[in-house]
Amino acid sequence: MKKLLALAAGVASSCVFNAAYAQSSVTLYGIIDNGLEYQNAGAGAVVRAVSGGLFASRYGLKGSEDIGGGLRINFQLEQGFSGVTGAASNSAAAFNRQAWVGVSGNFGEARFGLQNTPQYIFMNPELDPVAVMSIGSPMNNFNSLTVRVNNAISYFTPTVYGLSAQFMVAMRDTTTRPTNGIQFYNAAARYVNGQFRAAAAYEQAANATGTSILRIFNAGTSMGVGAARFYLAYHTERQTDNSVKRDVYEVSGSYSFTPADQLSLMYGYAHDREGQGNNAQQVGLTYSYSLSKRTTLYGSAGFIQNRHQAHFTLNGTGYAGIAVAPGADTRGVTIGLLHRF
């Protein structure tokens, strides 16, 4: 009997050890962001229901498993959808926003699959107070950049003395030409020292036909002073077929009256480097108030002055703005409610 009890105790201890050694978790999460928008591009006003005014609506699964030795296996599956119609952002893809698996440890983290770019998750928060989201952000309306890519391989460094970086390449496939090799590069680095932050990123993306390459460089810096933070940002993009040659400058700031709210004011200028005078400037405003840890009420407003043949519009985070005639000004207001789960 004593031997049987000892054997049972050993088996129980082994089970406890293995459970602690290989702990795993899976989380269902999401954001629903719905609102009403008014836009006028000079040819008449449009009032419409929109989803994704501040955050794109999405749901997903993410998980992690401790495999021992300081290593974890991580994954994320994410699908975008419209909160006002229920339709998937891309009905042809089960998970159109993210579908990756990776490993993390003291060395940092590596990911493989469809995923957000370093520009999106690492650089955008350093360019303005709303992380290049909402109709209020000039960077959101003036920039061309890649948010996420298929067939991606990325590496995230650990933070050392306030400095961290992310690197990504994406492979070609049967939807691109040629069908093999590397189609996309993106690298970003950020430095944080107290209330001071600075970041820079470079992106190079070939088009699907392999006939042209978009090259983008971004830099941003900000300083926190009490409840306020002030930003300076620069963006430049060049398409090798000369269809795009533009620089964007933005100055912005935010102020929190209470821990639950934030008011952001932004000004941006898009300079056409092709010499055609197709410049534009925007003033934007975004206010958000947290009703709880999960629910936020917000409002955004923007005014764009287009010159000559420029036709920039006011884009939400998860939807496109209305069509603008060349040289026409556009203005808009969005009020929305978002809930995280």
**Mean pLDDT, residues 53-71 taken together:** 98
Residue, of 338 and 18, whose pLDDT is higher: 338
pLDDT of residue 6: 44
Average pLDDT over residues 4-32: 61
At residue 271, does pLDDT exceed 90? yes
Q: Strands 58-68, 108-116: parallel, antiparallel or unpaired by DSSP?
A: unpaired
pLDDT of residue 22: 59
Model pLDDT, residue 262: 98
CA 203 to each of CA 118, 145, 160: distance values in angstroms, whole numbers, following the listed order: 9, 8, 23
Question: What average pLDDT score do residues 190-197 get?
Answer: 98
pLDDT beyond 80 at 4: no
Quick: pLDDT tens for 207-265: 999 999 999 999 999 999 999 999 999 999 999 999 999 999 999 999 999 999 999 99
Domain ranges across the chain: 30-57+101-340
So what's the pLDDT on residue 44? 87
| More confident position, 6 or 269 | 269
- Average pLDDT score, the chain: 93
Kindly report which listed range (6-10, 187-191, 214-218, 237-241) carries the lowest average pLDDT score: 6-10
* pLDDT-above-90 percentage for the chain: 90
pLDDT in tens, 86-133: 999 999 999 999 999 999 999 999 999 999 999 999 999 999 999 999
Residues 6+ apart with CB under 8 A from 301: 135, 136, 284, 285, 286, 331, 332, 333, 334
Mean pLDDT throughout 130-149?
96
Once rounded to an integer, what is the mean pLDDT over residues 289-306?
Answer: 98
Q: Three-state SS string across the chain, please?
A: CHHHHHHHHHHHHHHHHHHHHCCEEEEEEEEEEEEEEEEECCCCEEEEEEECCCCCCEEEEEEEEEEECCEEEEEEEEEEECCCCCCECCCCCCCCCEEEEEEEECCEEEEEEEEECHHHHHHHHHCCCCCCCCCCCHHHHHCCCCCEEEEEEEEECCCECCEEEEEEEEECCCCCCCCCCEEEEEEEEEEEECCEEEEEEEEEEECCCCCCEEEEEEEEEEEEECCEEEEEEEEEEEECCCCCEEEEEEEEEEECCCCCEEEEEEEEEEEECCCCCCCEEEEEEEEEEECCCCEEEEEEEEEEEECCCCCCCCCCCCCCCCCCCCCCCEEEEEEEEEEEC
Cα–Cα distance, 133 to 137 (Å, whole number) = 6
The domain 30-57+101-340 having CATH identifier 3.90.1150.10: the answer here is: no
